[in-house]
């Protein structure tokens, strides 16, 4: 049996994370001694490794809990676990596409900053300057959105 500190050393998780995961019910085989101290056997360590793997994929705690509950039900839930993984993969791909848009926007901004630094463009990045330069660079500014 391992303490939280030992489990942290074995898994590479922090002690805080291990306590959090056990409090969320993600380590079904965790035990407690007479002093209510968490104790981890090899199965508990395996659950922690599994949680770490899922967390590293960006999976939210709520979905990890669903996955663990399905695992506890046995092999009959493999199709549901597959569906859960596919949904998580699709969500990750959507976030990747969003991140690509963010990078593209930042690329445009860094090109603009380079032009400003080289005195080829006025500083259109500072809202304090917008009132006096808006007529020069109207295409750079956000249009006020109308609420319906």
- Band (pLDDT 50/70/90 cuts) for residue 121 is confident
Quickly list DSSP for 87-130: HHHHHHHHHHHHHHHHHHHHHHHHHHHHHHHTTSS---S-GGGH
* Contact status, residue 117 vs residue 109, Cβ threshold 8 Å: no
- What pLDDT is recorded for position 128? 81
**Average of per-residue pLDDT values in the chain:** 88
Region 70-78 average pLDDT: 96
pTM of the complete model? 0.70
**CA distance linking residue 39 with residue 46, whole number of Å:** 13
- Band (pLDDT 50/70/90 cuts) for residue 7 is very high
45-67 pLDDT, tens digit per residue, is 999 999 999 999 999 999 999 99
13-33 pLDDT, tens digit per residue, is 999 999 999 999 999 988 898
- Band (pLDDT 50/70/90 cuts) for residue 131 is confident
- Band (pLDDT 50/70/90 cuts) for residue 129 is confident
87-115 pLDDT, tens digit per residue, is 999 999 999 999 999 999 999 999 989 99
């Amino acid at each position: 049996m391992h303490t939280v500190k030992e489990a942290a050393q074995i898994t590479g998780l922090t002690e805080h994370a291990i306590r959090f995961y056990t409090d969320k019910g993600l380590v079904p085989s965790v035990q407690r001694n007479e002093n209510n101290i968490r104790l981890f056997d090899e199965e508990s360590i395996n659950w922690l490794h599994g949680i770490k793997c899922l967390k590293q994929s960006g999976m939210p705690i709520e979905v990890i809990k669903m996955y663990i509950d399905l695992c506890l039900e046995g092999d009959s839930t493999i199709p549901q676990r597959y569906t859960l993984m596919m949904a998580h993969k699709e969500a990750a791909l959507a976030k990747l596409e969003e991140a690509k848009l963010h990078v593209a926007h930042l690329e445009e901004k860094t090109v603009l900053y380079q032009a400003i630094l080289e005195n080829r463009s006025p500083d259109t990045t500072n809202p304090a300057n917008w009132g006096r330069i808006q007529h020069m660079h109207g295409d750079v500014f956000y249009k006020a959105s109308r609420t319906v």
